[in-house]
Amino acid sequence: MRASALCLLPLAALLAPALAAVPYSGHKVYRLVPTEEQLPVVAEWRQREGIDFWSKAHLAGHPVDVRVPPHLQREFLVHLYRHRVEHQLLINDLEEVFENERHRAQTRAVSKNPESRISFTEYLQYDEILQYLSDLASNYSDTVTVESIGNSYAGRDLGIIKISSGGDDTRPIILIDAGIHAREWIAPAAALYVINQLVENAEESALTDSVDWHIIPVINPDGYEYTFTTERMWRKTRSTEIVTCVGVDGNRNFNFHWNETGSSSDPCSDTYAGPMDFSEVETSYLRNHINRNIDRIKLYLTFHSYGAYILYPWGYTGDLPDDWETLDALAQDANEAQLAAGGPEYTIGSFNNVLYTASGVSSDWVKGVAGVNLSFTLELPGGGDEGFDPPASDILSIVTPFFEAIRVFGQYIADNYGR
């Protein structure tokens, strides 16, 4: 990897003390393991205001992590005991986890090496991410261009990095986005690691020999920044057209079976689909970029957490696409590669059958409307007993093997479509 020279912006150090200003004192996280008969019992709580399902009650025997505020804990536990749902206390006080997160961020900000272009031992704020992309465009101008595909609701550039070794815009494109759900910090970190390897690690240059990569590391920058400055567990955009509550779930906002199932019409819900499809400027600009490049995009990957899952369409129905065997085989190969590199086992299958029912999701729209056959949602591992996302010290141990899965996807496009 080439020597790095960028001094990151001091914004993170300035804002670190304000991280998660909305307090989570006394909030507990429980891990449930429901049986088939208990799934409806657990699901009853999904729509309760204040209850936050970090993973969904969809498959028997699969752990379900739930954040419960203090005023609901007694009722919640009584419900679990009454129905004999297996459970354990995962986090006793979520605010303590976030306090430790803030402390580590402040410590890293003080000790940060000014010669370091990027770090994978911390979660970067959006200005730092844009600065890194800009620096890459300056230092690798032969292969990298950085543009804005539009502006967020609050006016932030929706930065995209295009990585190409030539071909005059005729080569197939792999499109990656991350961070549509604001609180899922590991997803943008993974996108940045992919960028870092493709651009700054000469050993990975073969992955750009016949394929172009378009990567949007944070497609919901307003929400992402809000999780640093105000509310750590915020998930949605920050649009304010609806008076009652702020924001829309960007990954329920695409116009393919929009707001049919697995989404909400309640503006205060974390899965609110919006007042109409593509109501959010962020999803609209992503749609526009895809449409402008539709003849060249051969693979779409959207990064999320918490997992670990490799999911293909559909989300809105349990039916499988006609080419599901091709999708499944590619996902299996990707999983085997990252397993061999020391990563965790990723569960593979259709979005609906493996994770939960959701309509209006980006991967469904990309396949069902835009016509990109190879469309996947990649859910990275969560933080376990450390909170929603892994501690920053674990980023590298997750994204390094994860990149081996991305390598498999990239090689598949090179072998089948490369020029």
- Which amino acid is present at 96? E
Q: Catalytic site residues?
A: 379
What's the half-sphere exposure (Cβ side, CA atoms, 13 Å) at 323?
13
* CA dist 71 → 27, 46, 74, 231 (Å): 9, 16, 7, 19
Cis peptide before 314 (omega within 30 of 0): yes
| CB-CB contact of 245 with 267 (8 Å) | yes
The crossing angle, in degrees rounded to 10, of helices 186-200 and 126-139 is 10
- Quote the tokens at residue 281: 């400027």
Q: Tell me the longest C-alpha to C-alpha distance in the chain.
A: 65
The helix (run of H) or strand (run of E) holding residue 228 is: helix 221-229
* CA dist 166 → 85, 297, 419 (Å): 57, 16, 10
| CB-CB contact of 178 with 190 (8 Å) | yes
Q: Which residues contact 138 (CB under 8 A, 6 or more apart)?
A: none
